[in-house]
Structure 1
Amino acid sequence: MKLLLTSGGITNATISDALVDLLGKPIAESTALCIPTALWGYPRDIPVSAPDLVDGRAWGGMTSLPWKSLGVLELTALPTIGAQQWMPWVRKADVLLVAGGETTYLCHWMRESGLADILHSLQDTVWVGVSAGSMVLTPRIGEDFVGWPSAKDDRALGLVDFSIFPHLDVFPENTLVEAERWAADIDGPAYALDDDSAIKVSGGQLEVVSEGQWKPLS
C-alpha cells in the first residue's frame, strides 16, 4: 500500500499535493471508500453526531474532496455480508479514507473483518488516515491513547515501523513535553505531528510533509 498518515486530515496544499502524488491522478478521477469504524470505540454518553460522521473532525476534510465516487465501508458489518461481497469494493477503490476515533477498536475490527489480512496485497491502493486511522498501522500507540475498555494492550497492526503522537499542540494535553514522555515508553522510532503535518510512505520511502510543526521523537 501507499500511505498518507495524517494527524488532522487534508488540511493544507502540501498534504493535498502528497495525496495526488500517491494517487497518480487527480482526485476527481479517483474512487474512495471511507471507513468510519474508529468513531464507535469510545465510551460515550451520547451517540456519534451526524456532522462528525459525515464531515466533522474525524475526516479532516477528506470526504468533502471532489472524489469521482465515495462509498462507505463499515468494518463491523463486513463479517455479516461475507468477503465475496465487500472485497471487490476494496480492490476497486483507489483510496481508503480512515476516520479518527479509537485506535484499538479500529484495529480489532480490521482483524475481525478480514481487512487487515489483505492490506499487503493492495499494492496500488492509497491509505489515508486521520489520527486513529493513521495510528492503527503503527506497532504501538501507547497507553495514553487507549480508550476502548475491551482493549488488551496498546498494540496496533505494525504495518509501519514507527509510532505517531498526533494533534501536537492542538489539545492542551498534547504538548511536546507530553509527546516526549509518551515516546519514552514506545519501543521504537516515533514522530509527533500537528494537524498540518503527515507522513507519506511509498516504495519503502518515508517523507514528512508539513506546513506546521513536527518532530522525530526517537
Structure 2
Amino acid sequence: MRLLLTSAGVKNPSIQNALVELLGKPIADSNALCIPTAGYGHPQGSPAGAWRFISGQSSTPMCELGWKSLGVLELTALPSIGEERWIPWVRETDVLLVNGGDALYLCHWMRQSGLADLLPSLRETVWVGLSAGSMVMTPRIGDDFVGWKPPTGSDSTLGIVDFSIFPHLDHELLPENTMADAERWAAGIENPAYAIDDETAIRVTDGTVDVVSEGHWRLFSS
C-alpha cells in the first residue's frame, strides 16, 4: 500500500502532485472510496461533520478533488454485510480517503471490520489519511491524543509505519499544538515521530519515507 499521510488533507499543489504520483494517473481517472468513520468517535464529531467531509464542504480537501467516482465505505457497517460484498469494493478502488476524528476509534473499527487484515494485500492502493486517518497507521498516538478509550486501554494503533505523527502543528485554533508541545509529546514516544503542520504530508512508498511540505515540520528521532 502507498501512503499519503496528511494533517489536513490535500491542502496545496505539492501535496496534490504527490498524490498524483502515487496514483500513477490523473485524479480524474481514479476511483475513490471515502471512510468517514473516525469522525464519529471524536467528541467534536457530528453527522454534519461527516456530511461536510463526504460532500467536499470541509476545509480539508479530500473528496472534492475531481475523482472519476466517489463512494462511501462506513467501517461500522462492514461486519454486518459480509466480506464477500465489501472486499471487492475495496480491491477495485484506486484510493481510500480516510477522514480525521479519533484515531483509536478508527483503529478499533478497522480491526473489527477486517479492513486492517486486508491492507497488506492492497499493494497498488493509495491510502490518503487526514489527521486521525494518518495517525492510525502509526505504532502509537501518545497519551495527548487519547480520547475514545479502546477495550485494550492502550494508545497503540496499526503500526503500518514505524513513526508517530503529531498533526496540526502551530494551528491557530489549537494553542496546545505548539512545537514545544510536540517536543514534549515526542519525548514520551519510543519510536521516531514527526510533527507536521496543515501544509505538510508524509509520503511512504515501498518503505521509503519522504516529507512533502509547503509549511513546516520536524522529525524527532527516538
The TM-score with structure 1 as length reference comes to 0.95
Paired residue for 1:210?
Answer: 213
CA contact (8 A) 2:194 2:220 kept: yes
**For 1:17, what is the secondary structure of its paired residue?**
helix
Are residues 1:51 and 2:49 paired? no
Letter of the structure 2 residue corresponding to residue 99 of structure 1: N
State yes or no: 1:119 paired with 2:124. Answer: no
CA distance in 1, matches of 2:42, 2:101: 7
- Aligned residue number for residue 163 of structure 1: 164
In structure 2, runs of 5+ residues without a counterpart are none
Aligned CA RMSD, in angstroms, stands at 1.4
Aligned to 1:61: 61
C-alpha displacement at 1:43, in angstroms? 3.4
Q: Is the 8 A contact 1:100 1:129 kept in 2?
A: yes
Deviations 1:77-134 (A, max 9, x none): 0000000000000000000000000000000000000000010000000000000000
Q: How far apart, in 2, do the equivalents of 1:54 and 1:143 lie?
A: 32
Shift of 1:47: 3.4
- The answer to whether structure 1 residue 4 and structure 2 residue 4 are counterparts is yes
Name the amino acid aligned to 1:210.
S
Q: Is the Cα contact below 8 Å between 1:23 and 1:94 reproduced in 2? A: yes
Counterpart CA distance in 2 for 1:38 and 1:124 is 23
Per the alignment, do residues 94 and 105 of structure 1 end up closer, same or farther by CA in structure 2, a change over 3 Å counting?
Answer: same
Matching residue within 194, 199, 205 for 1:196: 199
Distance 1:100 1:29 in 2: 25
User: 1:38 touches 1:100 (CA, 8 Å); kept in 2?
Assistant: yes
**The residue matched to 1:63 in structure 2 has which SS?**
coil
Determine if the alignment matches structure 1 residue 185 to structure 2 residue 191.
no
Q: Provide the rounded CA distance (Å) in 2 between the counterparts of 1:141 and 1:150.
A: 13
The answer for the alignment partner of 1:137 in structure 2 is: 137
With the length of structure 2 as denominator, give the TM-score of the two structures: 0.94
Cα separation, 2, equivalents of 1:184 and 1:71? 40
Contact 1:143 1:153 in 2 (8 A): no
Q: How does 1:81-120 map to 2 (within 5 A)?
A: 81-120=81-120
Offset of 1:5 from its aligned partner? 0.3
How far is the alpha carbon of 1:60 from its aligned partner? Answer: 1.6
Deviates more, 1:153-162 or 1:35-44: 35-44
